[in-house]
Amino acid sequence: MSKHFKVIIIGSGPAGFTAAIYTSRANLETAVFEGQQPGGQLTITTDVENFPGYPEGVLGPEMMDQFRVQATRFGAKTIYETINKVDFSERPLRMWSEKEEYSADAVIISTGATARLLGTESETKYWGAGISACATCDGFFFRGEKNVLVIGGGDSAMEEAIYLTNFAENVTLINRSEKFRSSKIMLERAQKHPKIDIIANHTIEEFLGTEEKGIKKLTGVRLKNSSTGETREVEAGGAFLAIGHIPNTKIFKGIIDLDKENYIITKGKSTNTNIEGVFACGDVMDHTYRQAVTAAGTGCSAAIDAERWLSENS
């Protein structure tokens, strides 16, 4: 027998918890599946300065704890399991975690996105031996390091570079083109920072390192000039990838309509997916704005869409 809820929310970032606040407050029995990263991407960030209502800023993990408390206050259940299979071909909608089978009348997908990697052999080789995709998680390990690298030119790269100056003596930020995708204010903060060097127009040709008695250690990178093809080496004890994200939609492939980058397609201004009673919100369906506040906004929309759909269809 599966455990049944009126609404199941898959994913526990700002989108998922906002949806849960609305559905549980609308008296719909709601379960939120926390997944592999309870609280979502904000739990691996530091200060959130742009979420309205926090004039002094707030720590990402702290904010997500507050989202969770607010959702459970109205009766939403949080389940620390990951949904890894769904069957939306009949009613009720069915889902499976590693432990149990669940069913729901409506489902809200808010599974977010995961850090993108370069996917090279040398990256795999030194992964966890100096290479990481989360400065907040691993920056501390690089205390006193002469130089660490940040790869990318978006806001995440700027944020990570600035954060890493708390630990390393110097941070070198590498962007593959002359054009930076980050906001002007973040770029300027990084450019003006005395501990940050910026190398534009270069890609990582290879991560370099040592291996002694089976222990691997990153020592630097070989960079390639994107225009001339010339290579040069930069020494570094750490490298942080900040090159964007991939939507977490693997389990929905062939079931929910996805765009060419595998983000969920929602209909018009709604959060409706191609399947009746299944809605999507947050970074899993938005590759344009990707902010905590916009994710929370679409979470609210998904809850309202689900509530209306349920009142018309059950």
Residues designated catalytic: 134, 137-138
| Nearest residue (CB) to ligand NDP, 176 versus 195 | 176
Tell me the C-alpha distance between 137 and 131, whole Å: 12
Given candidates 157, 190, 280, 284, which one binds ligand NDP under the rule CB under 6 A?
Answer: 157
d(Cα 77, Cα 68) in Å, to the nearest integer? 10
Q: What is the DSSP letter of 153?
A: S
Nearest approach, Cβ of 74 to ligand NDP (angstroms)?
29
- Cα 96 to chain center, whole Å? 22
297 CB-near residues (< 8 Å, 6+ apart) = 18
The correct pick among 106, 223, 243, 302 for binding ligand NDP (CB under 6 A) is 243
Nearer to ligand NDP, 233 or 276 (CB): 233
The reply on whether position 224 binds ligand NDP by CB under 6 A is no
Quote the Cα angle for 20-26-31, to 5°: 35
**What are the backbone angles phi and psi of residue 266, rounded to the nearest 5°?**
-110, 155
d(CA 107, CA 117): 30
Nearest CB to ligand NDP, comparing residues 27 and 177: 177
Determine if 301 is a binding residue for ligand NDP (CB under 6 A). Answer: no
Could you tell me the smallest distance in angstroms from the CB atom of residue 120 to ligand NDP? 10
Q: Rg for the chain (alpha carbons), in Å? A: 21
Distance CA 211, CA 115 (A): 26
Residue from the set 120, 177, 191, 210 that interacts with ligand NDP by CB under 6 A: 177
Pull the structure tokens for residue 208: 């370099």
- Is 20 in contact with 120 (CB distance < 8 Å)? no
CB of 27 or CB of 50, closer to ligand NDP: 50
- List 30, 122, 132, 156, residue binding ligand NDP (CB under 6 A): 156
- Would you count residue 50 as binding ligand NDP (CB under 6 A)? yes
Closest to ligand NDP by CB, 224 vs 245, is: 245
Q: In this chain, which stretch among 30-38, 52-60, 151-159, 194-202 interacts with ligand NDP, using CB under 6 A?
A: 151-159
189 part of the interface to ligand NDP, by CB under 6 A: no
- Among 142, 113, 153, which residue's Cα sits nearest to residue 264? 113
Residue nearer to ligand NDP on the CB measure, 115 or 310: 115
Q: Is 84 in the site for ligand NDP (CB under 6 A)?
A: no
d(CA 75, CA 10): 16
Residues 88-127 contacting ligand NDP, CB under 6 A = 118
Is residue 181 at the binding interface for ligand NDP, with CB under 6 A as the rule?
A: yes
What element of type H or E holds 4?
A: strand 3-10
244 lines the binding site for ligand NDP (CB under 6 A): yes
Query: Which one of residues 35, 130, 153, 238 is an interface residue with ligand NDP (CB under 6 A)?
Result: 153
Position 41 contacts ligand NDP (CB under 6 A): no
User: Long-range pairs for 268-273 at CB < 8 Å and ≥24 separation?
Assistant: 270/301, 270/305, 271/108, 271/298, 271/301, 271/302, 271/305, 272/305, 272/309, 273/109
The angle that helices 14-25 and 292-313 make with each other, rounded to 10 degrees, is 40
Footprint of ligand NDP (CB under 6 A): 50, 118, 151-157, 159, 175-177, 181, 242-245, 290
